[in-house]
Amino acid sequence: MGLSAIQNKEDVEVCGLRPLVDTVDSPGTQNALLGAWPWQVSMQYYIGLPEYKHLCGASLVRNTWLLSAAHCYMEKRDPSKWRAMFGFTNMLNPGDKSIVSLIKRIIIHGKFSETTRVNDIALLKLQRSIEYNNYIRPVCLATPEVSASPEALCYISGWKTAACEGQPAETLQQVKLELISFKICNGSDYYSGQVTENMLCAGYKTGISEICEGDGGGPLMCYNHQQRFIQVGLLSSTYTCGKVFSTKFAYPNLYTMVKSYDKWIEWQMVSKASMIGKDINLQSYMGILVATICLGFFSSTE
C-alpha cells in the first residue's frame, strides 16, 4: 500500500477493511453497525469505583498504539486513570466482542496549543497487545504519499454528547461528511484565517452540526481508490455542536491533518522518546547524543 513505517506488515494487511460491512456509502447520520468501524475506540476516564466515563474518541493504528487528540488529555495526563474500550457500539451493553485495555503512556505533541488547537494530536500506548479480528482492527493512516481525494466518501464516528452535555449517546454514531477546501474553510464565511496548513475542514449539507464534545479525538476516515478507509484527520474542534446554520454547509469542524504528522507519529512509536514516555523531537535528541559523545571524548583525552 505504500504506507510508511508507522504501520507494520500485520497492520497493513488488515487496516481500513471492514469484513462485516459490505456497503460503503451510508446516508446521513445513523447508528453504526457492530463491526462498521472496527478501529473506533472509546477513551474512558476513571471517576470512582466502579465507574469510567467516556470522554473522547481514538483510533487503533497498531496493536499497542492509539491515535487521539491532545486536548482530551491536557488536564488528565495520568495514564493510570484511563482505559480504552474496543469492539462494541452500545455503551450500555458492550457485548462479548468488546475488550478493554489500560493505558501505559500518554504522549502529547510538545507544541500543542489549547487556544488555537494547533498540533492537536496525541498517542496512547496500551498496556496490552490487541489481537485483530473482524470487530477490532486498525485503520490505515494517511501519509504524504497515501491519502484520499477531495471527492472521497468520508465519515466520522463517535458517541456524541447529546446537546453537548450530559451522557454520551448510547450507540456509536456515524456521520457522512464532505471535505471542504482550505480556501473556503479559511475564508470570511467561516474561520477567517485561523485554519493552519496542518488542519482539515469537513462538513455536510444538513444545516445542523451533529458532531459534539464526546467525539473529540475520533477519526475522520475516507474511502480511497485502494478500497480501504484511510484516516485523514482526527476531530479537534467541536465549537459548533448542535447549532443550525443557513450556509451551504453547517459551520465545519476542524480536524488535525494526519499526514502532516506521519514523521512525528513514527518517531514517537519507535524512538527512545516513546520508551521514556517524553515528547522530544529528533533535533533535541540528536543534540543530546552529540553532546554526550563529545563529553566522553574530552574526558578520555584529559
Model confidence at 257, pLDDT cuts 50, 70, 90, reads very high
| Residue 92 lies in domain | 9-265
Q: Residue 211: pLDDT band by 50, 70, 90 thresholds?
A: low
Judge whether 197 lies within some domain.
Answer: yes
Per-residue pLDDT reduced to its tens digit, 137-176 = 999 999 988 878 877 889 989 987 544 555 667 899 888 8
Residue 250 forms part of a structural domain: yes
Question: DSSP assignment of 239-271, as one string?
Answer: TTTT-B--SSSPPPEEEEEGGGGHHHHHHHHHS
160 and 215 in one domain?
Answer: yes
Backbone angles phi, psi at 238, to 5 degrees: -130, 35
17 domain-assigned: yes
In a domain, 153, yes or no: yes
**Is it true that the peptide bond before 50 is cis, omega within 30 degrees of 0?**
yes
Residue 279: per-residue pLDDT: 45
Cell 469492539 sits at which residue?
A: 87
CATH number at residue 107: 2.40.10.10
Domains of the chain: total: 2
Are 280 and 136 in a shared domain? no
pLDDT at 295 over 70: no
Lowest-pLDDT range, 34-43, 219-228, 237-246, 247-256?
237-246
pLDDT digits (tens, 9 = 90+) for 54-113: 999 999 999 999 999 999 999 999 999 999 999 999 999 999 999 999 999 999 999 999
Report yes or no on 289 lying in a domain.
Answer: yes
Measured at the alpha carbon of residue 118, what is the angle toward residues 46 and 205, in degrees to the nearest 5? 85
Distance CA 166, CA 256 (A): 25
pLDDT in the model for residue 244: 45
> Averaged over 203-211, what is the pLDDT?
56
- The model carries a pTM of 0.84
Find the DSSP H helices in the chain: 9-14, 182-185, 262-270, 272-276, 282-301
- Whether residue 173 lies inside any domain: the answer is yes
Place of cell 500506548: 125
